[in-house]
Amino acid sequence: MASAITNATKVALTRPSNERLMALRQLQCSIFSTTFNPTSARTGAKYLKGRMRGPSMVDYYPKTMSFRDINRLYPGLDLVDEDEEQRVLDLMARKARGKGPPPKAKKAGEGRRAAKKKR
């Protein structure tokens, strides 16, 4: 029975205007504290929202302890890194045999290579 539809029902069934719908969305955003961005403009918010990636990136490798770390943590312990001692001894031995690094030039153009060049 079409005549049973009252005027009030008709008003309720018509679609609200775009302005009213927009106002509704704005109100929703203010109530639920979300961003009202009807044009979907890029605001860069995603660069502020994401979690910081640095801490987990730093934690990727398991922690290693060197002799230097241990000696720094416990100053009185004075552990000796035998490999390091041996390396330094070897270097000194090499230097004594004249196998050390060549002398560096004091100024540019005074090096061995520069002296070898013609003119």
The answer to whether residue 47 forms part of the interface with other proteins (CB under 8 A) is yes
**By C-beta, is 4 or 80 nearer to other proteins?**
80
CB 51 within 8 A of CB 57: no
**By C-beta, is 30 or 37 nearer to other proteins?**
37
Residue corresponding to tokens 């270097």: 91
The answer to whether residue 48 forms part of the interface with other proteins (CB under 8 A) is yes
The answer to whether residue 101 forms part of the interface with other proteins (CB under 8 A) is no
C-alpha–C-alpha distance, residues 25 and 18, integer Å = 11
Backbone angles phi, psi at 40, to 5 degrees: 55, 40
Tokens of 79: 């552990």
Query: Where does this chain bind other proteins (CB under 8 A)?
Result: 41-45, 47-48, 52-55, 57-58, 60-62, 64, 66
